[in-house]
Copies of this chain bind each other. A is one copy, B any other.
């Protein structure tokens, strides 16, 4: 399985664009983060990607799991996140045009 590797220096908007493109192309998306800064950038990216995707009829969410990975012979705990894709049912309740 391939992972989008997100680091603390990743640009959330760039990662968001990658996620949104893959979701629109029906490609399975999995993120891999090591460290709090990376997890934060990944979650910001998912929040931004939701803004791209919701108008197109998709919502996404992430399901995290711990994973021990080997980096240069050292074991590190990564947080891997599967991106779940949800089709949005367009109803009046889902409308965001409540300007009252």
- Our pick among B8, B40, B62 for the contact of A61 (Cβ within 8 Å) is B62
Q: A62 with B62: in contact, given A37-B36, A79-B47 (CB under 8 Å)?
A: yes
Instruction: Please report the total number of A residues contacting B with Cβ < 8 Å.
Output: 24
Chain A's interface: helix, strand, loop or mixed, by majority?
Answer: strand
Q: A79 with B39: in contact, given A59-B63, A61-B62 (CB under 8 Å)?
A: no
For A47, list chain B residues within 8 Å (CB): 64-66, 79
- Our pick among B43, B50, B59 for the contact of A43 (Cβ within 8 Å) is B43
Q: What are the nearest 10 A-B pairs in CB distance?
A: A36-B40, A61-B61, A61-B63, A47-B64, A39-B40, A36-B36, A43-B64, A61-B84, A39-B43, A36-B37
